[in-house]
Amino acid sequence: MSVERYTFDTNILFYALDSEAGVKHRVASALLGSADYERALLLLQSLGELCNAVRRKCPAKLELAFEFATQNARMFNVAHALPADLGVAIEAVRDHKIPFWDAMLWATARRAGCTLLLSEDLQDGQILGGVTIRNPFAPGFDLYAL
């Protein structure tokens, strides 16, 4: 699987941070650790959602999450949503029945040139507007084929 540009959903970042997540932690950490910084990018939304998820689920690790998000924002290119992404996300919610924030993440990634979105939240293998969604925790996913 050779892709031009790819990004990670919030859950991948969360598992990379959560050393108690077992196999998911190892896979997510390997994904981030082996990322090609020229082709991989992070979405500002994912970094914000990560900090919010850690605040809700394990507040004792909030400072660690802040440091993790800040560090990764310096290492990766970071894309943020634009007003036009909102309309595209709304269409995706209507047409494909996906949750709004997942649609917003997808719309931003698509506009930023991503052809691959790594996420466990959406349907593995689904292609939406030229963006393939892959679950890196699914059987058969080749971690090093990016």
- pLDDT by residue (tens digit) across 72-102? 999 999 999 999 999 999 999 999 999 999 9
**107 is a domain residue:** yes
Residue 125 confidence (pLDDT) above 60:
yes
CB neighbour class for 95 (10 Å; exposed up to 12, middle 13-18, buried from 19): exposed
Q: Which residues contact 127 (CB under 8 A, 6 or more apart)?
A: 133
pLDDT in tens, 50-61: 999 999 999 999
- 121: domain range? 6-134
Number of domains in the chain: 1
For the whole prediction, is pTM greater than 0.85?
yes
Summary mean pLDDT of the chain? 94
Sign of CA dihedral 50, 43, 5, 101: positive
**1 is a domain residue:** no
- CB burial readout 34-59, b (16+ within 10 A) else e: ebeeebbbbbebbbebbbebbeeeee
**31 is a domain residue:** yes
Q: What is the pLDDT of residue 145?
A: 74
